[in-house]
Amino acid sequence: MEFKVDRGGGLPAYLQLVRQVREAVRLGWLGPGDRLPTVREVVRTSGVNANTVLKAYRELELSGLVEARQGSGTYVKTALGSASAENLTELRAKLADWVTEARSAGLEDEDIDALVRAVLAEGEK
């Protein structure tokens, strides 16, 4: 797993790391027993401060998603989501087609993000 940190975004770097781990687990890219990159690896590849990575990993540990093993690393403890891998693959393909269509209609990534968030918010009502 390689982290990407958007320094121009409004979300703090440690929360971006937390979100990326949660998404990877939810989508099945990481599962129980999988090892997260070391703090040193994340610092080297993403350019964030070691304390930022430690804060993100601590947040994930407090939420019960990962566990730190002294001298061994940080490991995914539990799974998230309930969709099967087949369903996720099919839905991802449909979403990719929709994103292509949205871009063809002139929408930029921020427009697409806003539209998706609006639809998700409608579903909560």
pLDDT tens sequence across 54-92: 999 999 999 999 999 999 999 999 888 767 778 878 888
Token pair in block for residue 55: 């804060």
The structure's pTM equals 0.72
Over residues 32-41, the pLDDT tens digits come to 999 999 999 9
Token pair in block for residue 70: 């002294």
Of 74, 85, 66, 77, residue with least CA distance to 27: 85
pLDDT bracket for residue 125 (50, 70, 90): low
Cβ-defined contacts of 86-92 (< 8 Å, 24+): 88/27, 88/28
Residue pair 17/48 in contact (Cβ under 8 Å)? The answer is yes
pLDDT bracket for residue 95 (50, 70, 90): very high
What mean pLDDT do residues 99-117 have? 93
Q: Cα separation of 92 and 3, whole Å? A: 20
Of 86, 12, 23, residue with least CA distance to 1: 23
When the pLDDT of each residue in the chain is averaged and rounded to a whole number, the result is 91
Percent residues over pLDDT 70 in the chain? 98
